[in-house]
Chain A
């Protein structure tokens, strides 16, 4: 036990340190480099208005966006994997990403192009998707297999509608392509703040529900036997996971694989108890996405690789590895 606690503590320290280091580097590095020691002076306006503008209106929101999106998607993935008892579940599987994508496409098709409206449309699309899935799972007694299968089916339907709309109007395809690849290059405070507040609120609620999440993982009958109304809590967790993923997708676009890779990686070091898993997923997810964003920015500077592409390059092989390693999730059924 002591070894395990020590390992968790070390992992927590490493995660926080890594996150802080990447955050500082993210503020310092780019087309214009700032020495870390100069950051407070630049923010105070001592180093010129241009430097201050770059730091305050480009790098700072971008750093916060990467951290928040990473934390939200990783925790969302961890919650979905626990609730659905399948390590291969992620926000994309239950159709959250597809719902957000459709929201953006329809928003663009309606001619509403402001960043705030696009964010709202993405968020509404993901929440609506979860509402449909939840209703569907409720009517089938919220079986975990049914939820996943329902999510996969809905994912296909939403993607098909999305593709149909973009095929009919190529302008819409061009407008929504940035969103569908995913990235932080166009993040602004107006898109970040409402979604960020929602993410922080959802994380705070989830961190108070760690024991409930662990009890849900015991299985329906055992959980009911010790007094948890499982169906109701499963819906709460699905809604919170959707809220996190939808809010992240609303400003970051369709970032894949964070919700899959990070929880899996963290579980190896901390075990499955949510009180350790969720906070560490938030820290590691934030650090991972911030690191990928930094790498995507610097790898081919002055050109910028969309972070979604970089994450898919990393995430794709890992996903295939997980499929082979865990035989499609059956090991955990």
Chain B
């Protein structure tokens, strides 16, 4: 479980987050939504210790993040940033780098690291791509490899910043299924999503962010009962109960 308690953070002297608090529970998907520049990515960076923050505190499974080394944080939280380089290495090597936080100098991957990376690739269905170069893969496949890397990290929490960007609609749905399975396996998942319908469909909790503050938090149904989507985006989202569960649509 990740708990953020009344923190403020920003870039240099510019404060983006102002006294923000939120909680992401174990085995649940928590999604941050909000317009561009509202502070969602900044919040992710703050909880990963990528930018300095002040105020209350951030804990992962009760452990305070402040004072942890970068490698320690990586062992608790796996992070998939938004704008990722496409490195000129194989998918197998990319996944193996997920074991990096567990190495000490001189950092050499051990037999057990190779086994864990292979298992992570198998779980993501990309084991057969291990020898392929990352640049040769489609956006969806590449994203699966990044997720395999996150799995190889064996962190109890995974944080993803707009993971469905560059994916077509079919790949987005497949990706959503994978995320669901990961949360069902007990991982704490925190997402930033711009696709509101997808966020409503897959999330257990949604936190609406505006001007560096969480202005509303709740389950998708609770969020829909408020006027928050209109406030954030100027749109109305409705739901309808079908045989396949609740479906969401823009009005």
Task: List A residues at the B interface (Cβ < 8 Å).
Answer: 1, 4, 85, 208-209, 211-212, 214-215, 217-219, 221-222, 224-229, 267, 271-273
Q: Which residue of A lies closest to B107 (CB)?
A: A211
For the complex of A and B, 4 pairs with smallest distance between CB atoms: A227-B74, A225-B79, A227-B101, A227-B71
Task: List B residues at the A interface (Cβ < 8 Å).
Answer: 48, 50, 69-75, 78-85, 87-90, 93-94, 97-98, 100-101, 103, 105-109, 130-131, 133, 149, 153
Given contacts A217-B85, A221-B79, A222-B79, 16 further A-B contacts (CB under 8 A): A1-B131, A211-B107, A211-B108, A214-B89, A214-B93, A214-B97, A218-B84, A218-B85, A218-B94, A218-B97, A225-B74, A227-B69, A227-B72, A227-B101, A271-B133, A273-B93
Residue contact A272 to B153, C-beta cutoff 8 Å: no
- Distance (whole angstroms) from the CB of B248 to the closest CB of chain A: 31
User: How many residue-residue contacts, CB under 8 A, span A and B?
Assistant: 85
Known contacts A211-B108, A215-B97: does B89 contact A226 (CB below 8 Å)?
A: no
Complex CA–CA separation, A273 to B97 (angstroms): 12
Residue contact A222 to B71, C-beta cutoff 8 Å: no
Q: Which residue of B lies closest to A205 (CB)?
A: B106
Residue contact A217 to B101, C-beta cutoff 8 Å: no
Residue contact B88 to A272, C-beta cutoff 8 Å: yes
Complex CA–CA separation, A250 to B180 (angstroms): 59
Known contacts A211-B100, A211-B107, A218-B97: does B88 contact A225 (CB below 8 Å)?
A: no
- Highest count of chain A CB atoms <10 Å: which of B97, B109, B131: B97
- Highest count of chain B CB atoms <10 Å: which of A215, A217, A224: A224
- Distance (whole angstroms) from the CB of B70 to the closest CB of chain A: 5
Known contacts A208-B106, A211-B109: does B97 contact A226 (CB below 8 Å)?
A: yes
Residue contact A222 to B153, C-beta cutoff 8 Å: no
Complex CA–CA separation, A218 to B100 (angstroms): 12
Q: List 13 A-B contacts (CB under 8 A).
A: A1-B131, A211-B97, A212-B107, A214-B87, A217-B88, A217-B89, A219-B81, A225-B79, A227-B70, A227-B71, A227-B75, A228-B70, A272-B89
Complex CA–CA separation, A22 to B130 (angstroms): 38
Complex CA–CA separation, A4 to B103 (angstroms): 26
- Using Cβ atoms and an 8 Å threshold, which residues of chain A touch B85? 85, 217-219, 222
- Other-chain residue from A218, A226, A272, A273 in contact with B74 (beta carbon distance below 8 A): A226
Residue contact B97 to A229, C-beta cutoff 8 Å: no
Complex CA–CA separation, A314 to B105 (angstroms): 40
Complex CA–CA separation, A112 to B89 (angstroms): 49
Q: Which residue of B lies closest to A208 (CB)?
A: B106
- Distance (whole angstroms) from the CB of B60 to the closest CB of chain A: 14
- Distance (whole angstroms) from the CB of A235 to the closest CB of chain B: 15
Complex CA–CA separation, A228 to B101 (angstroms): 8
- Using Cβ atoms and an 8 Å threshold, which residues of chain B touch A211? 97, 100, 103, 107-109
Complex CA–CA separation, A299 to B64 (angstroms): 68
- Highest count of chain B CB atoms <10 Å: which of A212, A214, A273: A214
- Distance (whole angstroms) from the CB of B111 to the closest CB of chain A: 16
Residue contact A215 to B100, C-beta cutoff 8 Å: yes
Complex CA–CA separation, A226 to B80 (angstroms): 10
- Using Cβ atoms and an 8 Å threshold, which residues of chain A touch B88? 217, 267, 271-272
Q: Which residue of B lies closest to A230 (CB)?
A: B70
- Distance (whole angstroms) from the CB of A62 to the closest CB of chain B: 34
Residue contact A219 to B101, C-beta cutoff 8 Å: no
- Using Cβ atoms and an 8 Å threshold, which residues of chain A touch B90? 271
- Using Cβ atoms and an 8 Å threshold, which residues of chain B touch A226? 74, 78, 97-98, 100-101, 149, 153
- Using Cβ atoms and an 8 Å threshold, which residues of chain B touch A272? 87-89
- Using Cβ atoms and an 8 Å threshold, which residues of chain B touch A267? 88
- Distance (whole angstroms) from the CB of B202 to the closest CB of chain A: 22
- Other-chain residue from B69, B81, B93 in contact with A225 (beta carbon distance below 8 A): B81
Residue contact B89 to A271, C-beta cutoff 8 Å: yes
- Distance (whole angstroms) from the CB of A101 to the closest CB of chain B: 33
- Distance (whole angstroms) from the CB of A180 to the closest CB of chain B: 35
- Using Cβ atoms and an 8 Å threshold, which residues of chain B touch A221? 50, 79, 81-84
- Using Cβ atoms and an 8 Å threshold, which residues of chain A touch B108? 211
Complex CA–CA separation, A273 to B90 (angstroms): 9
Complex CA–CA separation, A214 to B96 (angstroms): 11
Q: Which residue of B lies closest to A219 (CB)?
A: B85
- Using Cβ atoms and an 8 Å threshold, which residues of chain A touch B131? 1, 4
Residue contact A224 to B48, C-beta cutoff 8 Å: yes
Complex CA–CA separation, A273 to B79 (angstroms): 23
Q: Which residue of B lies closest to A232 (CB)?
A: B70
- Highest count of chain A CB atoms <10 Å: which of B71, B73, B81, B108: B81
- Distance (whole angstroms) from the CB of B86 to the closest CB of chain A: 9
Complex CA–CA separation, A273 to B108 (angstroms): 14
- Using Cβ atoms and an 8 Å threshold, which residues of chain B touch A4? 131
- Highest count of chain B CB atoms <10 Å: which of A4, A218, A229: A218
